[in-house]
Amino acid sequence: MIYDFRMYTLKPGATSDYRAGAKEIGLPVRQRHGAVLAGWYYSEIGDLNQVTHIWAFDDLKHLKDAKDAVAADPEWTGTYIPRVRGLPVAQNTYLMNTTEFGPVPD
């Protein structure tokens, strides 16, 4: 299993708007195309205005196929992207591997 680990820094005060868009539109679209949510977090102490989401995939092919399908989904491009456009000011993305003893999401 591999994980697409994404950390976004948002404009000050934009966290609740970003969370709402992700919950209402982004999450269902990603899940419809095979992405498995392994974690979704936001900061309240320390560096503020940050969200982290982690997506689980069986392998690199699964990751590529899911990302391609999401990018081609009209709900993603026509509804989600316009809703969250301008909220992130920075993004860090990592491709992570799990260990044999690490938890695996359902």
* pLDDT value at residue 105: 78
* Core vs surface per residue 3-34: b (16+ CB within 10 A) or e: bbbbbbbbeeebbeebeebbeebbbebbeebb
* pLDDT value at residue 104: 79
The pTM of the whole model exceeds 0.85 = yes
Task: Specify the number of domains making up the chain.
Answer: 1
Region of 49 (left: φ > 0; alpha: ψ -120 to 50; beta: rest) is: left
- Residue 25: inside a domain, yes or no? yes
The CATH number of residue 19's host domain is 3.30.70.100
* pLDDT value at residue 52: 97
- Residue 103: inside a domain, yes or no? no
Spans of the chain, pLDDT less than 70 = none
Residue 67's domain spans which residues?
Answer: 2-97
* pLDDT value at residue 87: 97
* pLDDT value at residue 106: 72
- Residue 105: inside a domain, yes or no? no
